[in-house]
Amino acid sequence: MLRITVITSTSLLALLAIATAGLWGRSFWTGDQVGGILTRHLTNECVSWTLSVDTGRGGVRLYYSRVAYPDTAVSRPYWGLNPPGLRTFHIAYVNPQNPATQPNSRQIWSFFGFARQYETWKNFQDATVHAYVVPLPLVTLLLAIPSMLVWLGPYRRARRLRNNLCVKCGYDLRATPDRCPECGEVL
């Protein structure tokens, strides 16, 4: 039962690793996004919370924003992949032609595909934005590690048995085929 669970979960992680590798290549061409917006209508303002995960330019971004705006415009919730109009995300998606989108304060930190974004807007909208970007190859690597460990174990064991080495520690057992003098493993 444990073995089936381990094989199933590592296979699933391996599939996810392959999927993120695919997303990495795709992210240079187009972005993908899943997320949701929750909007509450108050007496004379709307408050929207957005939580989304999107890809672009080799990275994956976790995005959170809280926006309050002084009207009752209805924003429709979305849930899907690659909404129309989304090509790639930008760490700072500021439109220089539109002063309403200029953040009052912005902290952008980026290093080798990692990035952190923090913005507050106090113009038309009262907004706070938090976002973190991680390079997709790192996600692929982390997802692949469990399956590599699980699949490399039997491979190493078979190779040691073939070469008359101790399956536990790799010590040469040609002189002592019954018991490993190094670690005491009984064969």
Q: Which residues bind to Zn ion, rule: CB under 5 A?
A: 166, 168-169, 171, 180, 182-183, 185
8 Å CB contact between 13 and 143: yes
Assign 11 to helix, strand or coil.
Answer: helix
**Which lies closer to Zn ion via its Cβ, residue 38 or residue 187?**
187
**Which lies closer to Zn ion via its Cβ, residue 32 or residue 185?**
185
**Which lies closer to Zn ion via its Cβ, residue 13 or residue 165?**
165
- Tell me how far, at minimum, the Cβ of 25 lies from Zn ion, in Å: 44
- Tell me how far, at minimum, the Cβ of 149 lies from Zn ion, in Å: 20
Q: Which helix (H) or strand (E) holds 115?
A: strand 114-122
- Tell me how far, at minimum, the Cβ of 163 lies from Zn ion, in Å: 13
Count CA atoms within 13 Å of residue 48 on its CB side. 22
Please report which residue ranges of 73-183 form alpha helices under DSSP H: 136-162
